[in-house]
Amino acid sequence: MRLFLTRKTLLFSSCAVALMLLLAGFIALKGPINAHATGVTLYVGQTQGVNTGCQSPGFTSVQAAVNVANNGDTVYLCGTTPYAEQVIVAQKAITLTGDPGATIQAPDPFPATNPADLPPQFTTDNLLVPQAIVFIWGSSANVKIKGLNISGPLSGNGGCAENEFGVLVIDNAAATINNDQVTNIHDINSSLYGCQFGVGIQVGREYWPTSNYSSFVTEDFVGTATIKSTTVSGYQKNGITVDGPGSKATVTYDIVNGAGQSDQSFSTIIAQNGIQISRGAKGQVTYNTVTGNAYTGSGGASSGGILVYGGNCDGPSTPLTVNVNVSHNILQNNDVGVFISNLIVDQSGNYCVLPTSKTGIVAKYNTVSNGAATNVSGPNLLGAPGGYQAGVSDEGYADQIASNSICGVGYTPVATPPPYLSHIDVVATNPVINGNKTCSDSQSNSMSAWSATGKVLKLRYHMKPVK
């Protein structure tokens, strides 16, 4: 989303302790089992047994199994009855998997997470503690999540001063998210659907709010992930976000479905983004299907199917986002199919302008389509108010837009705008644009390359991304 804004600014011997652990869902050992051996499987079920399998699971809580697990172990969720709990994996290399349909679901009410269980910055820097269904952190954390459902909604705190996530990977942690379903990561209170939170999968984050939400501080929480063959839907703000310098992700063969025009409770009040790579993060975004990120409200914004942005126009510590590869994706009915925006502040501090160094974003071989002009408020790249939609939109330096197929009346320019509709819309320095094909309906035609201005434009009242 981009708003129309100006630049401002262990084993226990005690019987009593053992009983407490049993009540908490820890394993009751009825026979010899070495839960600390490398490569064992810890089974989680609805009733407790001796950990021989799903017929006799050793745990009734996912978190209890995670707490006991050692590096190389697998925590296996039995059955399809949801496990309503938050799961925090700190400094461990384990696998989370389970039966087909196994689900970790946001508890209602969501428990207050102890900051002591999170990265130390949450205590030392007095950070806002998020609601994250699966929270992975620490430089020794390398977690595989395979074949699970992770589901909301989340109960929140009753206001917009909140952070809500399906999977959160930060503080130098790594994750492999493969063949999962991440659904309904939004607040349970529909009156808060306009709040700028609710991310299906978040990898890294540069800025984090303080506990009273009075400001955002630079934390540079780095995360690394491979996200593959996963479906993300029902999110409030973003499907997948990779954010901040040092963070990186490979995002491939995923399905990311925004609300689009099918759910007016979202589309009229919040501009969603499908996949976002931002604030200096690295990413390969390929072979995904991203649909329905379409904002129909009047708040001066457009949604992006795949959004790439950076530069200190967003904040003084925000680096440019460079060399991201966006290719071979299918992008349907998004306000902007591929949304690229790298902007810096000029010497006066008053304007957002084009970068003076190469950004090198590549958008190639994408199939982009939109069958309707539905956005009514997203200003175009030059700040003109009105609806804005584009197959590819680019602000940067030497970005490459090539061999894309862009079709539909939602991207076909009208004689008298607004709405401002474009197959490819560029305000950039030295872009490389070639081999793209466009159509207004079923008739495709070649789009000849053109040379855009190399001049750095001072764009008063320029749109900039929201944190």
Amino acid in position 178: N
Query: Dihedrals φ, ψ of 115, to 5°?
Result: -55, -25
CATH of the domain at 227: 2.160.20
- Token digits for 287? 């072979």
Check if the beta carbon of residue 141 is closer than 8 Å to that of residue 134. Answer: no
Residue 307 lies in a domain: yes
For the stretch 308-354, pLDDT in tens is 999 999 999 999 999 999 999 999 999 999 999 999 999 888 889 99
Higher pLDDT, 443 or 262: 262
Per the structure block, which two tokens stand in for 119? 């990265």
Number of domains in the chain: 1
Share of the chain above pLDDT 70, in %: 85
Per-residue pLDDT at 465 exceeds 90: no
HEC readout, the chain: CEEECCCCCCCCCCHHHHHHHHHCCCCCCCCCCCCCCCCCEEEECCCCCCCCECCECCECCHHHHHHHCCCCCEEEECCCCCEECCEEEECCCCEEEECCCCEEECCCCCCCCCHHHCCCHHHHCCECCCEEEEEEECCCCEEEEECCEEECCECCCCCCCCCEEEEEEECCEEEEEECCEEECCCECCHHHCCCCCCEEEEECEEEEEECCCCCEEEEEECEEEEEECCEEECCCCEEEEEECCCCEEEEECCEEECCHHHCHHHHCCCCCEEEEEECCCEEEEECCEEECCCCCCCCCEECEEEEEEECCCCCCCCCCCCCCEEECCEEECCCEEEEEEECEECCCCCCEECCCCCCCCEEECCEEECCCCCCCCCCCCCCCCCCEEEEEEEECECCEEECCEEECCCCCCCCCCCCEEEEEEECCECCEEECCEEECCCCEEECCCCCCCCCCCEECCCEEECC
Which tokens hold the place of 462?
């320029």
Burial class of residue 359 (count of CB atoms within 10 Å of its CB; 0-12, 13-18, 19+): buried
pLDDT at 152 over 50: yes
Residue 453: pLDDT band (50, 70, 90) is: very low
235-286, pLDDT tens digit by residue?
Answer: 999 999 999 999 999 999 999 999 976 666 788 899 999 999 999 999 999 9
Q: Do residues 293 and 260 touch, judged by C-beta distance below 8 A?
A: yes
pLDDT in tens, 391-442: 999 999 999 999 999 999 999 999 999 999 999 999 999 999 999 999 876 4
pLDDT (tens digit per residue) in 160-219: 999 999 999 999 999 999 999 999 999 999 999 999 999 999 999 999 999 999 999 999
* In-domain check, residue 187: yes
Residue 348 is predicted with a pLDDT of 87
Q: Is the pLDDT of residue 367 over 90?
A: yes
Quote the CA–CA distance of 426 and 310 in Å, as a whole number.
Answer: 16
What is the model's pLDDT at position 180? Answer: 98
Looking at the DSSP bridge assignments, the partners of residue 429 are: 397
pLDDT at 265: 72
Q: Are strands 255-257 and 231-233 parallel, antiparallel or unpaired?
A: parallel
- Average pLDDT of the chain, as a whole number: 88
Residue 130: pLDDT above 50? Answer: yes
pLDDT in tens, 56-99: 999 999 999 999 999 999 999 999 999 999 999 999 999 999 99
Q: 372 in a domain, yes or no?
A: yes
Supply the pLDDT for residue 441: 61
Q: Flag whether 14 is in a domain.
A: no
Residue 252 lies in a domain: yes
Query: Does residue 122 lie within any of the structural domains?
Result: no
pTM: 0.89
Containing domain of residue 316, as a range? 2-9+133-465
Do 307 and 335 form a contact (C-beta atoms < 8 A)? no
pLDDT at residue 5 is higher than 70: no
What pLDDT sits at residue 355?
Answer: 96
Please answer whether residues 235 and 186 qualify as being in contact, where contact means their C-beta atoms are separated by less than 8 angstroms.
Answer: yes
Q: Tell me, what's the pLDDT at 335?
A: 98
The rounded Cα 380 to chain-centroid distance in angstroms is: 24
44: in domain = no
Residue 178 makes CB contacts below 8 A (sequence gap 6+) with 144, 145, 146, 147, 226, 227, 228, 229, 230
Mean pLDDT in residue range 432-456? 59
pLDDT digits (tens, 9 = 90+) for 48-65: 999 999 999 999 999 999
Give the per-residue pLDDT at 301: 96
Does residue 59 lie in a domain region? no
Instruction: Provide the greatest CA pair distance for the chain.
Output: 80
Return the closest-CA partner of residue 87 out of 108, 70, 104, 110. Answer: 104
- Side chain identity at residue 253, one-letter code: Y
